[in-house]
Amino acid sequence: MSRQTPKPTDAELAILRVLWERGHSTVRQVHEVLNRERPAAYTTSLKLLQIMTEKGLVERDERDRTHIYRARLSEEQTQRQLIRDLLDRAFDGSATKLVMQALAARRATADELQEIRRVIDGARQDSQPREIEHGERREGRNERD
> Residue 140 pLDDT more than 60?
no
The answer to whether the beta carbons of residues 26 and 67 sit under 8 Å apart is yes
Q: For residue 125, what pLDDT is reported?
A: 83
Among the listed ranges 32-36, 121-125, 135-139, which one has the minimum average pLDDT value? 135-139
How does DSSP classify residue 25? Answer: B
Average pLDDT of every residue of the chain: 87
**Mean pLDDT over residues 75-85, rounded?**
95
Distance CA 15, CA 135 (A): 52
Range of the domain at 124: 75-128
The answer to whether the beta carbons of residues 91 and 98 sit under 8 Å apart is yes
Residues 23, 67, single domain; the answer is yes
- 1 occurs within a structural domain: no
Q: For residue 129, what pLDDT is reported?
A: 67
Q: For residue 64, what pLDDT is reported?
A: 87
- 113 occurs within a structural domain: yes
Q: Which band of pLDDT confidence, cut at 50, 70 and 90, is reported for residue 7?
A: very high
Q: Cβ–Cβ contacts within 10 Å for residue 12, how many?
A: 19
Residues 56, 84, single domain; the answer is no
- 134 occurs within a structural domain: no
Q: For residue 141, what pLDDT is reported?
A: 43
Give 49-63 pLDDT, tens digit per residue.
999 999 999 999 999
The total number of structural domains that make up the chain = 2
